Amino acid sequence: QVQLVESGGGLVQPGGSLRLSCAASGSIFSRYVMGWYRQAPGMQRELVARITSGGNINYGAFVKGRFTISRDNAKNMVYLQMTSLKPEDTAVYFCNARMSIFSSTMGGYWGQGTQVTVSS
């Protein structure tokens, strides 16, 4: 069982930056594929970024170089650095842990989410 707690969300103006953090429990953190997903009201949850235990990284198509995912296995932490934020980035951002990159979007363990609002 993995417990995940997100932080770092908030209100930011278009073009601004935020760094999201996810703290994970357990001593097997390094074995998991870690990811960030987001969900806007009335929309499906979608992949933002993921990073495997081996350091392989994938991003959602909408990221286009604006976001960077990283992990610190010694601290059981995963981060999402977001820059050039747009109003359409507004969503609840969820941290996720799973054992396989082939599982479904809703698979694995989930945090409660942190709200990101991009608005003037």
- Look at residue 27 in the predicted model and tell me its pLDDT: 66
- Look at residue 76 in the predicted model and tell me its pLDDT: 92
* Cβ–Cβ under 8 Å, residues 79 and 20: yes
Residue/partner pairs of 51-59 with CB below 8 Å, 24 or more apart: 51/78, 52/101, 58/101
Query: Tens-of-pLDDT digits for all 120 residues of the chain?
Result: 789 999 999 999 999 999 999 999 876 688 899 999 999 999 999 999 999 998 999 999 999 899 999 999 989 999 999 999 999 999 999 999 998 888 888 999 999 999 999 999
Read off the tokens for 62. Answer: 């909408």
Q: In angstroms, what is the C-alpha Rg of the chain? A: 13
**Cα Dmax for the chain:** 41
